[in-house]
Structure 1
Amino acid sequence: MPTPMTRDEIDELLKAALVGRLGMIADGQPYVVPISFAFRDGAVYCHSAQGRKVQALRTRPEVCFEVDELDHIDRWRSVIAWGRFEQLLGAEAREAMELLVDRFRPLVPASAEDHQGAELGMMRTLDIPRLAEAREQVGQPSAAAVVFRVNLHTLTGRMEGEW
């Protein structure tokens, strides 16, 4: 039977998860996308290319964020949180990118270490300039990469089984 999670258990899952689902309204319709993130101090930090997601976030900044972990049909946990999008600029954006790089650096295969921008993992697959080329652009309003945080104000979690 599912039971509520404590705030410490919620924070533990948010710190451990690599991918969350960001729910928003885009063009009047619900829109949910998976997104890599880092969690710190009650907020999730993310980056994205310009596009539908970023436009939706700028238009309607109230969002829902979900993470889950399934070990077995009767051993799982899930967190749903509500928060507000905030685009980061300047030093805050650079600090957030360093947080993301540090979070995902252990997942970059050793063979990719010499690849320009490999430390950003998934950013290589997006139309975002490589980190070496983009360092001065990160946090500028015109940068291809949008760095943002979702300040979480309401969190709830449920789990089943022993964790």
Structure 2
Amino acid sequence: METAKAERLLAEGVYGVLSTADGSGQPYGIPLNYVFRDGAVYFHCARFGHKLDNLAANPRVSFCVVGKARVLPEQFSTEYESVVAFGEAREVEGEEKERALVWLLEKYSPDYLEEGRAYIAREGAAAKVIRIDVSRLTGKAAS
């Protein structure tokens, strides 16, 4: 898949699977909502948890998004498109955190921007925002 199409799929995907590994190498994959902007994937999460423990031990991650998928039973095949981003994850704060939360709001709740901004003002401090700087992107499609 061409890079531009892979970036478009990453930008338009509904959810992705973040894959991390702990200090001993044990893999962990978790689905989550996200936004892709300016060459980076952003997501929000609680202030504590397994994925954050893993990121502290090893910030290298992969992030997979599957777009269209359709099983073709009579052909013993599947029509699909997917993209995998590789990079390093780190927490962002301040203005970048606020921008990322608004981008998530615009993607997932575009009809509730005013209420969402009020929610961010009230509850935003309770969340962490993580940025994955994408260093490599691969995409694949079959039809």
TM-score range for the pair, normalised by the shorter chain length: 0.7 to 0.9
Which one-letter code corresponds to 2:89 in the other structure? F
Output the TM-score relative to the length of structure 1.
0.74
Counterpart for residue 15 of structure 1? 11
The 5 A counterparts of 1:141-152 are: 144-152=126-134
Deviation at 1:69, TM superposition (A): 2.0
The 5 A counterparts of 1:7-156 are: 7-26=3-22, 28=24, 29-49=26-46, 50-73=48-71, 74-106=78-110, 119=116, 130-135=119-124, 137=125, 144-156=126-138
How many residues align? The count is: 133
The 8 Å contact of residues 104 and 119 in structure 1, kept in 2 or not, is answered as: no
Unpaired stretches in structure 2, ≥5 consecutive residues? 72-77
Instruction: Work out the CA distance in 2 between the residues paired with 1:134 and 1:81.
Output: 29
Q: Secondary structure at the match of 2:28?
A: strand
Deviation at 1:47, TM superposition (A): 0.2
Runs of 4+ in 1 over 4 A off after TM superposition: none
Among the aligned pairs, what percent are the same residue?
A: 32
Instruction: Work out the CA distance in 2 between the residues paired with 1:12 and 1:54.
Output: 27
Structure having the higher helix fraction is 2
Deviation at 1:12, TM superposition (A): 1.1
Output the TM-score relative to the length of structure 2.
0.83
Instruction: Work out the CA distance in 1 between the residues paired with 2:94 and 2:67.
Output: 34
